[in-house]
Amino acid sequence: MKLKDNMLSGKVTANKKALREGFKAGIPIGLGYFAVSFSLGIAARNAGMTPFQGMLASLLCHASAGQYAGFTMIAASATLLETAIMTFIANARYLLMSCAMSQRAHPKMSGFHRMLMSYFITDELFGVAISKPGFINPWHMYGAILFASPAWALGTLLGGLAGNLLPVRLVSAFSVALYGMFIAIIIPPAKKNKVIAVLILLCFAASYLASVLPLFAAISSGTRTIILTVVFSAAAALLFPKEAEQEAQEE
Protein backbone atom coordinates (compact mmCIF):
# COMPACT_ATOMS: atom_id res chain seq x y z
CA MET A 1 0.00 0.00 0.00
CA LYS A 2 2.81 2.37 0.91
CA LEU A 3 4.67 1.54 -2.29
CA LYS A 4 1.52 2.29 -4.29
CA ASP A 5 1.11 5.63 -2.50
CA ASN A 6 4.75 6.51 -3.20
CA MET A 7 4.31 5.69 -6.87
CA LEU A 8 1.17 7.82 -7.05
CA SER A 9 2.92 10.69 -5.28
CA GLY A 10 5.86 10.45 -7.66
CA LYS A 11 3.55 10.51 -10.66
CA VAL A 12 1.74 13.61 -9.35
CA THR A 13 5.07 15.35 -8.76
CA ALA A 14 6.24 14.48 -12.28
CA ASN A 15 3.00 15.79 -13.78
CA LYS A 16 3.30 19.05 -11.84
CA LYS A 17 6.85 19.48 -13.09
CA ALA A 18 5.73 18.77 -16.67
CA LEU A 19 2.89 21.29 -16.26
CA ARG A 20 5.33 24.01 -15.15
CA GLU A 21 7.78 23.24 -17.94
CA GLY A 22 4.96 23.25 -20.48
CA PHE A 23 3.69 26.59 -19.21
CA LYS A 24 7.15 28.11 -19.66
CA ALA A 25 7.35 26.66 -23.17
CA GLY A 26 3.91 28.10 -23.93
CA ILE A 27 4.84 31.70 -23.04
CA PRO A 28 6.66 32.53 -26.31
CA ILE A 29 3.98 30.62 -28.22
CA GLY A 30 1.25 32.64 -26.52
CA LEU A 31 3.02 35.92 -27.25
CA GLY A 32 3.29 34.96 -30.92
CA TYR A 33 -0.36 33.90 -30.94
CA PHE A 34 -1.42 37.20 -29.40
CA ALA A 35 0.29 39.15 -32.16
CA VAL A 36 -1.03 37.01 -35.00
CA SER A 37 -4.59 36.72 -33.67
CA PHE A 38 -4.77 40.52 -33.47
CA SER A 39 -4.99 40.65 -37.26
CA LEU A 40 -7.36 37.69 -37.11
CA GLY A 41 -9.72 39.79 -34.98
CA ILE A 42 -9.71 42.45 -37.68
CA ALA A 43 -10.62 39.81 -40.28
CA ALA A 44 -13.50 38.64 -38.08
CA ARG A 45 -14.75 42.20 -37.72
CA ASN A 46 -14.56 42.78 -41.46
CA ALA A 47 -16.65 39.63 -41.91
CA GLY A 48 -19.41 41.24 -39.84
CA MET A 49 -18.70 39.44 -36.57
CA THR A 50 -18.64 41.11 -33.16
CA PRO A 51 -15.41 41.06 -31.11
CA PHE A 52 -16.99 38.52 -28.75
CA GLN A 53 -17.92 36.24 -31.65
CA GLY A 54 -14.37 36.46 -32.98
CA MET A 55 -12.97 35.57 -29.55
CA LEU A 56 -15.40 32.64 -29.26
CA ALA A 57 -14.28 31.39 -32.67
CA SER A 58 -10.67 31.43 -31.45
CA LEU A 59 -11.61 29.48 -28.33
CA LEU A 60 -13.38 26.82 -30.38
CA CYS A 61 -11.04 26.63 -33.38
CA HIS A 62 -7.30 26.86 -32.72
CA ALA A 63 -6.16 27.30 -36.30
CA SER A 64 -5.22 30.56 -37.97
CA ALA A 65 -5.57 29.30 -41.55
CA GLY A 66 -8.84 27.54 -40.78
CA GLN A 67 -10.27 30.62 -39.07
CA TYR A 68 -9.18 32.93 -41.87
CA ALA A 69 -10.82 30.59 -44.35
CA GLY A 70 -13.96 30.47 -42.22
CA PHE A 71 -14.15 34.24 -41.85
CA THR A 72 -13.64 34.64 -45.61
CA MET A 73 -16.49 32.24 -46.29
CA ILE A 74 -18.72 34.06 -43.80
CA ALA A 75 -17.95 37.39 -45.48
CA ALA A 76 -18.89 35.82 -48.82
CA SER A 77 -22.22 34.61 -47.37
CA ALA A 78 -21.31 30.98 -47.99
CA THR A 79 -23.47 28.13 -46.69
CA LEU A 80 -22.62 26.22 -43.51
CA LEU A 81 -21.65 23.16 -45.56
CA GLU A 82 -19.30 25.17 -47.78
CA THR A 83 -17.73 26.81 -44.73
CA ALA A 84 -17.29 23.43 -43.03
CA ILE A 85 -15.65 21.88 -46.10
CA MET A 86 -13.28 24.81 -46.58
CA THR A 87 -12.28 24.77 -42.92
CA PHE A 88 -11.72 21.02 -43.04
CA ILE A 89 -9.40 21.36 -46.05
CA ALA A 90 -7.45 24.21 -44.43
CA ASN A 91 -7.00 22.19 -41.22
CA ALA A 92 -6.39 18.77 -42.79
CA ARG A 93 -2.69 18.89 -41.89
CA TYR A 94 -3.63 18.40 -38.25
CA LEU A 95 -4.69 14.85 -39.13
CA LEU A 96 -1.03 14.10 -39.85
CA MET A 97 0.09 15.74 -36.61
CA SER A 98 -2.45 13.73 -34.63
CA CYS A 99 -1.17 10.52 -36.20
CA ALA A 100 2.41 11.46 -35.34
CA MET A 101 1.48 12.25 -31.74
CA SER A 102 -0.45 8.99 -31.38
CA GLN A 103 2.79 7.12 -32.10
CA ARG A 104 4.44 8.92 -29.18
CA ALA A 105 1.57 8.42 -26.73
CA HIS A 106 1.95 5.83 -23.98
CA PRO A 107 -0.12 2.70 -24.76
CA LYS A 108 -1.95 3.15 -21.45
CA MET A 109 -2.78 6.83 -22.02
CA SER A 110 -6.52 7.33 -21.56
CA GLY A 111 -8.82 8.31 -24.37
CA PHE A 112 -9.68 11.51 -22.50
CA HIS A 113 -6.07 12.75 -22.66
CA ARG A 114 -5.81 11.76 -26.31
CA MET A 115 -8.97 13.64 -27.27
CA LEU A 116 -8.10 16.71 -25.23
CA MET A 117 -4.62 16.99 -26.76
CA SER A 118 -6.00 16.48 -30.25
CA TYR A 119 -8.51 19.28 -29.71
CA PHE A 120 -5.73 21.77 -28.95
CA ILE A 121 -3.22 20.63 -31.59
CA THR A 122 -1.61 23.51 -33.49
CA ASP A 123 1.64 23.66 -35.44
CA GLU A 124 3.51 25.21 -32.52
CA LEU A 125 2.02 23.11 -29.71
CA PHE A 126 2.66 20.00 -31.78
CA GLY A 127 6.29 21.05 -32.21
CA VAL A 128 6.73 21.59 -28.47
CA ALA A 129 5.09 18.27 -27.57
CA ILE A 130 6.88 16.16 -30.16
CA SER A 131 10.32 17.66 -29.43
CA LYS A 132 10.43 16.01 -25.99
CA PRO A 133 12.14 12.60 -26.03
CA GLY A 134 10.23 9.50 -25.03
CA PHE A 135 6.50 9.24 -24.49
CA ILE A 136 4.45 12.44 -24.55
CA ASN A 137 3.33 13.69 -21.14
CA PRO A 138 -0.09 15.28 -21.69
CA TRP A 139 0.46 17.60 -18.73
CA HIS A 140 3.39 19.21 -20.52
CA MET A 141 1.12 20.11 -23.41
CA TYR A 142 -1.62 21.28 -21.02
CA GLY A 143 0.86 23.68 -19.45
CA ALA A 144 1.61 25.22 -22.85
CA ILE A 145 -2.10 25.40 -23.61
CA LEU A 146 -2.81 27.31 -20.37
CA PHE A 147 -0.95 30.33 -21.71
CA ALA A 148 -1.19 29.92 -25.49
CA SER A 149 -4.94 29.34 -25.85
CA PRO A 150 -6.14 32.37 -23.80
CA ALA A 151 -3.55 34.57 -25.56
CA TRP A 152 -4.94 33.48 -28.93
CA ALA A 153 -8.50 34.32 -27.89
CA LEU A 154 -7.54 37.59 -26.18
CA GLY A 155 -5.61 38.79 -29.22
CA THR A 156 -8.62 38.09 -31.42
CA LEU A 157 -10.87 40.03 -29.04
CA LEU A 158 -8.58 43.06 -28.91
CA GLY A 159 -8.06 42.93 -32.67
CA GLY A 160 -11.81 43.13 -33.15
CA LEU A 161 -12.10 46.00 -30.68
CA ALA A 162 -9.21 48.23 -31.68
CA GLY A 163 -7.48 46.69 -34.69
CA ASN A 164 -8.87 49.18 -37.19
CA LEU A 165 -7.32 52.02 -35.19
CA LEU A 166 -3.77 50.75 -35.82
CA PRO A 167 -1.69 51.29 -38.99
CA VAL A 168 -1.91 48.45 -41.50
CA ARG A 169 1.87 48.01 -41.55
CA LEU A 170 1.97 47.57 -37.79
CA VAL A 171 -0.73 44.91 -37.85
CA SER A 172 1.07 43.05 -40.65
CA ALA A 173 4.34 43.18 -38.72
CA PHE A 174 2.76 41.28 -35.84
CA SER A 175 2.77 38.06 -37.84
CA VAL A 176 6.59 38.07 -38.05
CA ALA A 177 6.73 36.90 -34.42
CA LEU A 178 5.17 33.59 -35.40
CA TYR A 179 7.97 32.81 -37.87
CA GLY A 180 10.53 33.51 -35.15
CA MET A 181 8.70 31.02 -32.95
CA PHE A 182 8.86 28.34 -35.65
CA ILE A 183 12.61 28.87 -35.94
CA ALA A 184 13.00 28.48 -32.17
CA ILE A 185 11.23 25.10 -32.41
CA ILE A 186 13.24 23.59 -35.28
CA ILE A 187 16.76 24.91 -34.55
CA PRO A 188 17.55 22.87 -31.36
CA PRO A 189 16.85 19.41 -32.89
CA ALA A 190 18.57 20.47 -36.13
CA LYS A 191 21.74 21.33 -34.19
CA LYS A 192 21.77 17.89 -32.58
CA ASN A 193 21.02 15.85 -35.71
CA LYS A 194 22.51 16.57 -39.13
CA VAL A 195 19.86 14.46 -40.85
CA ILE A 196 17.12 16.65 -39.40
CA ALA A 197 19.03 19.78 -40.41
CA VAL A 198 19.34 18.62 -44.03
CA LEU A 199 15.68 17.58 -44.13
CA ILE A 200 14.60 21.00 -42.85
CA LEU A 201 16.60 22.75 -45.58
CA LEU A 202 15.16 20.43 -48.22
CA CYS A 203 11.65 21.08 -46.91
CA PHE A 204 12.22 24.84 -47.14
CA ALA A 205 13.43 24.52 -50.73
CA ALA A 206 10.61 22.16 -51.73
CA SER A 207 7.98 24.37 -50.12
CA TYR A 208 9.25 27.39 -52.04
CA LEU A 209 9.38 25.52 -55.34
CA ALA A 210 5.86 24.16 -54.79
CA SER A 211 4.58 27.70 -54.27
CA VAL A 212 6.00 28.99 -57.57
CA LEU A 213 5.85 26.03 -59.97
CA PRO A 214 2.67 26.20 -62.09
CA LEU A 215 1.69 22.59 -61.43
CA PHE A 216 1.72 22.98 -57.63
CA ALA A 217 1.02 26.68 -57.20
CA ALA A 218 -2.64 26.17 -58.08
CA ILE A 219 -3.02 23.79 -55.12
CA SER A 220 -4.02 25.33 -51.79
CA SER A 221 -1.24 25.93 -49.28
CA GLY A 222 -2.79 23.50 -46.79
CA THR A 223 -2.90 20.70 -49.37
CA ARG A 224 0.69 21.43 -50.43
CA THR A 225 1.76 21.18 -46.80
CA ILE A 226 0.09 17.79 -46.46
CA ILE A 227 1.70 16.44 -49.64
CA LEU A 228 5.18 17.64 -48.70
CA THR A 229 4.81 16.35 -45.14
CA VAL A 230 3.81 12.88 -46.28
CA VAL A 231 6.57 12.70 -48.91
CA PHE A 232 9.42 13.91 -46.69
CA SER A 233 8.36 12.05 -43.56
CA ALA A 234 7.95 8.80 -45.51
CA ALA A 235 11.31 9.28 -47.22
CA ALA A 236 13.03 10.04 -43.92
CA ALA A 237 11.47 6.98 -42.26
CA LEU A 238 12.63 4.73 -45.12
CA LEU A 239 16.13 6.17 -45.53
CA PHE A 240 16.95 6.87 -41.88
CA PRO A 241 14.98 4.41 -39.74
CA LYS A 242 15.55 4.40 -36.00
CA GLU A 243 16.89 1.22 -34.51
CA ALA A 244 14.57 -0.40 -31.99
CA GLU A 245 17.23 -0.23 -29.26
CA GLN A 246 17.84 3.47 -29.90
CA GLU A 247 14.12 4.27 -29.79
CA ALA A 248 13.65 2.27 -26.58
CA GLN A 249 16.60 4.08 -25.00
CA GLU A 250 15.12 7.49 -25.85
CA GLU A 251 11.78 6.48 -24.37
| Residue 3 maps to a domain | no
Domain that holds residue 49: 14-185
| Residue 227 maps to a domain | yes
- If asked whether residues 68 and 173 sit together in one domain, one would say yes
- If asked whether residues 124 and 23 sit together in one domain, one would say yes
Query: 228-233 long-range contacts, Cβ below 8 Å, gap at least 24?
Result: 228/203, 229/93, 229/96, 230/96, 232/199, 232/202, 232/203, 232/206, 233/96, 233/100
- If asked whether residues 172 and 218 sit together in one domain, one would say no
| Residue 144 maps to a domain | yes
| Residue 42 maps to a domain | yes
| Residue 199 maps to a domain | yes
224 has pLDDT over 80: no
Q: What is residue 80's three-state secondary structure?
A: helix
- If asked whether residues 96 and 166 sit together in one domain, one would say yes
- If asked whether residues 107 and 151 sit together in one domain, one would say yes
- If asked whether residues 200 and 181 sit together in one domain, one would say no
**What domain count does the chain have?**
2
Q: Which of 150, 167, 185 is the last residue of a domain?
A: 185
pLDDT, tens only, 21-79: 999 989 988 888 888 888 788 888 888 889 899 999 998 888 877 888 788 888 888 88
pLDDT band at 217 (very low <50, low <70, confident <90, very high): confident
- If asked whether residues 130 and 31 sit together in one domain, one would say yes
| Residue 9 maps to a domain | no
**Closest alpha carbon to 22 in 180, 149, 140, 145:** 140
pLDDT, tens only, 87-142: 887 787 788 888 888 888 888 888 899 999 888 888 888 888 887 778 888 999 99
- If asked whether residues 29 and 127 sit together in one domain, one would say yes
185 has pLDDT over 80: no
| Residue 7 maps to a domain | no
